[in-house]
Structure 1
Amino acid sequence: MDQRKEYLNYVNTIYKAIVDKIDVGVHAIDRTGKTVIYNKKMMELEAMDEEDVMHKHLQDVFMFKEGQDSTLVKALKEGKETRNVKQTYYNNRGREITTINNTFPIIIDGEVQGAIEIAQDVTKLERLMKENRKINGSLRYTFDKIIGKSETIKQVIENAKRASRTSSNILIIGETGTGKELFAQSIHHASDRFSGPFISQNCAALPENLIESLLFGTKKGAFTGSIDQPGLFEQANGGTLLLDEINSLNLNLQAKLLRAIQERTIRRLGDTKDIPIDVRIIANMNENPVEAIKNNRLREDLYYRLGVVTLFLPPLRERKEDIPLLVQRFIEKFNDCFQMKVKGLAKEVMQTFQEYDWYGNVRELEHIIEASMNLMMDEEKLIRYEHLPFQYRSRMFIKKEKDLIDTKMTAIKKPIHYNKTLKEQLDVFEKAYIEQVLQDNDYNITKTAATLGLSRQSLQYRIKKLSINTKKGNSFMYDTPI
């Protein structure tokens, strides 16, 4: 008997793990109307915790509009299944939830013993439909807002301005943080479509089961409770539709997008009628399209349709001469936001900015300036090294540490003793390296810790542990007060 109970517990654990992995909401009630199954996806859809719902009567937890009843309770009472029913109700905190439900009675030996509901979220879809109805008055960026004097960025700006004179589709390629939407908005603003809408959608921000409805819209009757709802193509008619991270769309949806671009028509979900559209497509990608095609993330025919004009935005590491201009612009921006009077960067900070590779590009630079100014006192006028956030300091000096290792390790001349353990040998190299960096930084502990990507406390601990000489000539190591 104990073995059977243990086995049943084992099977139940596996069953629960499987149910929690499903990308739809699952909610089941027993014959009394109390919840017996409530998976993680359902918790996300309804913004509820398991303990709020489990083993409680459904109608004691959720609220429904007057004259409406839960599809789950209906299945339990009437023993009938319903499919693709749109239902709007409220959780225990009064938050409105909208789902598309498939609900089934659980019938055992001819009697209804419970009910189960499979739910998909459309709350997010309806919210995004509203959010994406942008008009040209909400545009923030024009070409004169793009900062840079380097030849690389000037050439891209010039090409973008030329492309804005036509209605050809545009593909903008650039790493994260290089300003792809800035260029897209600027192109729209400078084009003949300026008076039309500018609609933007990140294709990676939605699950596959919602993005098609969002793009092409829905027809009343496509599923129970559905309404006539224009998609982003119709909302952008006469203007520009920006599709960010186009390579995140599945290939089947890319094929439908290709058809819409080629035929200049779309068809709503559940409809049989084609609707003509006049939309300029600007698509963004953060990877090389050749690699995306090779790895089946982008259809080749769609690439050629979208890339009539292709703009490659240079990463910040390839236009470092623009860093001073960008820094000044961001300081001015956050001076206004924080009511501060910061003038600029200390010389050593600007030097480190020029040495850094800027993995997050212009966006990362902006975040560092904002974070640094949050750590400054009102009377301070220059961003100094100690103001930079620690996590950024560590990353900035990864390259510098590697260069130091490459150039200095040959000068350390520490022999390898094969009778030592690995830990003992690593201590030898760590001690030699710290001594070298101390010397390079004129025995300043703050700068040495920063160069090593360590906190001062961590460096001091290593100095003590490894018995490192803390004297510079006849004087003790000094520190810069903070």
Structure 2
Amino acid sequence: MVIPHNKLLNKALLEGVPGGIVVVNAEGEIVTINDLALELLNIKEENVVGKQVIDVIPNTRIDVILESGRVELNQYQNLNKNRILTNRMPICDQGEIIGAVAYFQEDKEAEEMAKELEGVKRLKKNLETILNSIDDGIHVVDEEGLTIFYNSKMAELENHEKEQVLDEKLLDIFPSLDRTTSTLLRTLDSQKPIMEHEQSYTNYKGEEITTINKTLPITLDNQFIGALEIAKDVTKLKELSEKNLDLQSELYKADDTEKKELNNGTKYLFSDIIGQNWDLKKKIKYAKQASKTSSSVLISGQTGTGKELFAQSIHNSSPRRGKPFIAQNCAALPKDLLEGILFGTKKGGFTGAVDRKGLFEQANGGTILLDEINSMSLELQAKLLRVLQEGMIRYVGGNELIEVDVRVIATINKEPAKAFQAGELREDLYYRLAVVNLQLPSLQERKDDISLLVEYFINKFNRKFNYRISGITKEVEKLFLKYDWPGNVRQLEHVLEGAINIVGKRGKIEEQHVEPFMIDIKNIKEDNEEDNLNINSEESLPELMEDIEKRLIKEAIDDTAGNISQAARDLGVKRQSLQYKINKYSLQT
């Protein structure tokens, strides 16, 4: 059969389009329908031409178009669980409606967008839940200064309802601010971040609030769209710091009579450092020599090795002992607060600032201890370096330079080289501080002092509690010698105090009394059973120490193939001392 040319053309056009087509006449009868329309509409009948469209497609609106003559474009319709995008229009001839056509296609893109939107909504809800649960205030504004996010902590700090702030302009809600005092508006204007900014204000409850703010510009596809502010509440921290400053001021008043009545803020002397270890004794000797000068001192060592004890002893043996000794932990305060604490603040220098002397000025003539110097920001370290070089300070918010005479002792709880690598300590500051450099040994490196320390602490707690603890058992001695002591002397003190509380007024400290206070004690006890030192449980502590020393010397000789000089260097002792020990223990070389 030969198909007429015009019918071939019509069929090609109908089947070539990427959508379904249905054409009806004025009576609503289907005159044309393509295969894709049959598929999308899930029509199983082979021949629907000539049938009423409302019988074939029950929810169609083509019959409505025939009556109204209106065009309906981009209409969404759900057909057979598919979302369909439909365009319907009448067919007119000389102003008369002679039929209608519907063109539709499956809206896969819209479906995917809907799923994606649903996922975005879930993500937004989860993100809001997280941001509302954190302990920092978060405030986000768009490029017009309109609040688009305001979390629960920020609402608590500023005593606002979130609903009052959302979708409102910043200056309408906070009329006391302007474009120079609001960090959010400053970031909107400059499109640059503002880091670690201290801000003090009175909230709607009349409470004085101090926050450390970080304000960041927000960009999307390289387009600036707003600003985000993260506010950390440091109100209580600042109150405690100011109380501390007030107490320090009272303690170090300039009146000479009062100075005699009050101590200088210390309690330790060199005589309080317990130990006979050769390395410890060497460090005590160096520290005593350093106390005669006013040079800066850097004391490094693990936590609990006695860094502040050394610092106070140096001060109390120096010509400055009658002057103040003031300690400040650099890890305890944010950068902006710490700078004001150290150098003082000038009224009007920033919001909420008052005239207040800093610790350097209060310690004038004496010593300041900067504990954990590697926790100080690099920016503040640069300012400290200038103070050390020039002997002058400047108040935060002030212009005047004030001369101070203060000896600086700093501590660090890791090796300085590792602090350099981690970007925690400026090398130039290190060289300026480490004029005297004291590296304190850990308790693991001075286990020969454990028996002395045990005796000292037991006597200390006996006096404190009015107890009569007679000592520790041999099993505890061996356990203490085997243990690594990650918390050093401070940990040993706490372990003994805890054990004494379990023992009671009389008796000896046994393994069961110390086990609850020692980390990884189970592993150590298991290791003791297989220890290559093969410790004799009947040995006394001096005998045990000699046995350990003998085996360590033998290992060092074996490792160096009998090279006495190298073995001495590895053991950290003089060659003559090692030779003496070799002869004493009749060791072969």
Is TM-score (shorter-chain normalized) higher than 0.5?
yes
Match of 2:15 in 1: none
Do 1:218 and 1:227's aligned partners in 2 also have CA atoms closer than 8 Å?
yes
Match of 1:417 in 2: none
1:269, 1:330 → 2: CA distance?
Answer: 45
Do 1:214 and 1:231's aligned partners in 2 also have CA atoms closer than 8 Å?
yes
Matches within 5 A, 1:82-481: 83=182, 86-87=200-201, 98-99=209-210, 120-131=233-244, 133=248, 136-378=263-505, 380-392=506-518, 395-399=520-524, 401-402=526-527, 404=529
Q: Alignment identity in percent?
A: 44
Bigger mean CA deviation after superposition, 232-241 or 80-89: 80-89
Do 1:199 and 1:241's aligned partners in 2 also have CA atoms closer than 8 Å?
yes
2:465, 2:531 → 1: CA distance?
Answer: 42
Compared CA separation, residues 89 and 146, structure 1 to 2 (3 A)? farther
Shift of 1:207: 2.1
List per-residue Cα deviations over 1:67-105 (Å, max 9, x = no partner): xxxxx99964858656476346798xx9x7542599xxx
List per-residue Cα deviations over 1:273-297 (Å, max 9, x = no partner): 2111111000001111122223322
2:334, 2:265 → 1: CA distance?
Answer: 26
Compared CA separation, residues 302 and 80, structure 1 to 2 (3 A)? closer
List per-residue Cα deviations over 1:99-125 (Å, max 9, x = no partner): 2599xxxxxxxxxxxxx9957524413
Task: Structure 2: give runs of 5+ residues left out of the alignment.
Answer: 1-113, 141-148, 183-197, 214-228, 253-262, 538-589
More relative contact order in 1 or in 2 (CA 8 Å, sep 6+)? 1
Match of 1:479 in 2: none
1:212, 1:260 → 2: CA distance?
Answer: 12
Do 1:242 and 1:281's aligned partners in 2 also have CA atoms closer than 8 Å?
yes
> Are 2:137 and 1:25 aligned?
yes
In structure 2, the residue corresponding to 1:205 is in which secondary structure?
Answer: coil
List per-residue Cα deviations over 1:169-219 (Å, max 9, x = no partner): 000011110000000011111111112111111111122232222222211
In structure 2, the residue corresponding to 1:13 is in which secondary structure?
Answer: helix
Match of 2:19 in 1: none
Do 2:296 and 2:436's aligned partners in 1 also have CA atoms closer than 8 Å?
yes
| Greater share of residues in strand | 2
List per-residue Cα deviations over 1:134-193 (Å, max 9, x = no partner): 654431111111111222221111111110000000000111100000000111111111
Letter in 2 for 1:383: I
Match of 2:63 in 1: none
Compared CA separation, residues 348 and 275, structure 1 to 2 (3 A)? same
Do 1:37 and 1:54's aligned partners in 2 also have CA atoms closer than 8 Å?
no
Compared CA separation, residues 54 and 148, structure 1 to 2 (3 A)? farther
Compared CA separation, residues 339 and 19, structure 1 to 2 (3 A)? same
Q: CA RMSD in A?
A: 3.8
Shift of 1:405: 5.4
Do 1:197 and 1:238's aligned partners in 2 also have CA atoms closer than 8 Å?
yes
List per-residue Cα deviations over 1:446-477 (Å, max 9, x = no partner): xxxxxxxxxxxxxxxxxxxxxxxxxxxxxxxx
1:355, 1:272 → 2: CA distance?
Answer: 58
Letter in 2 for 1:398: N
Match of 2:585 in 1: none
Bigger mean CA deviation after superposition, 398-407 or 190-199: 398-407
Shift of 1:53: 8.8
In structure 1, the residue corresponding to 2:469 is in which secondary structure?
Answer: coil
Do 1:86 and 1:225's aligned partners in 2 also have CA atoms closer than 8 Å?
yes
Letter in 1 for 2:434: G
Compared CA separation, residues 101 and 299, structure 1 to 2 (3 A)? closer
Letter in 2 for 1:121: V
Question: TM-score if structure 1 supplies the norm length?
Answer: 0.66
2:212, 2:279 → 1: CA distance?
Answer: 53
In structure 2, the residue corresponding to 1:138 is in which secondary structure?
Answer: coil
Do 1:244 and 1:285's aligned partners in 2 also have CA atoms closer than 8 Å?
yes
Letter in 1 for 2:332: A
2:333, 2:498 → 1: CA distance?
Answer: 30
2:330, 2:155 → 1: CA distance?
Answer: 23
Shift of 1:272: 1.5
Compared CA separation, residues 330 and 80, structure 1 to 2 (3 A)? closer
2:161, 2:334 → 1: CA distance?
Answer: 27
Higher CA-based Rg = 2
Compared CA separation, residues 204 and 170, structure 1 to 2 (3 A)? same
Do 1:26 and 1:119's aligned partners in 2 also have CA atoms closer than 8 Å?
no
1:350, 1:384 → 2: CA distance?
Answer: 9
Do 2:201 and 2:351's aligned partners in 1 also have CA atoms closer than 8 Å?
no
1:254, 1:55 → 2: CA distance?
Answer: 39
Do 1:26 and 1:37's aligned partners in 2 also have CA atoms closer than 8 Å?
yes
Aligned pair partner of 2:123 in 10, 18, 35:
10
1:386, 1:80 → 2: CA distance?
Answer: 63
Do 1:26 and 1:42's aligned partners in 2 also have CA atoms closer than 8 Å?
no
Shift of 1:299: 1.0
2:175, 2:161 → 1: CA distance?
Answer: 23
Letter in 2 for 1:389: E
Match of 1:453 in 2: none
Do 2:495 and 2:517's aligned partners in 1 also have CA atoms closer than 8 Å?
no
Do 1:27 and 1:39's aligned partners in 2 also have CA atoms closer than 8 Å?
no
Do 1:27 and 1:42's aligned partners in 2 also have CA atoms closer than 8 Å?
no
Bigger mean CA deviation after superposition, 158-167 or 136-145: 136-145
Compared CA separation, residues 239 and 130, structure 1 to 2 (3 A)? farther
1:264, 1:272 → 2: CA distance?
Answer: 16
Do 2:307 and 2:440's aligned partners in 1 also have CA atoms closer than 8 Å?
yes
1:279, 1:351 → 2: CA distance?
Answer: 46
In structure 1, the residue corresponding to 2:368 is in which secondary structure?
Answer: strand
2:278, 2:177 → 1: CA distance?
Answer: 69
Compared CA separation, residues 256 and 334, structure 1 to 2 (3 A)? same
Compared CA separation, residues 155 and 390, structure 1 to 2 (3 A)? same
In structure 1, the residue corresponding to 2:503 is in which secondary structure?
Answer: coil
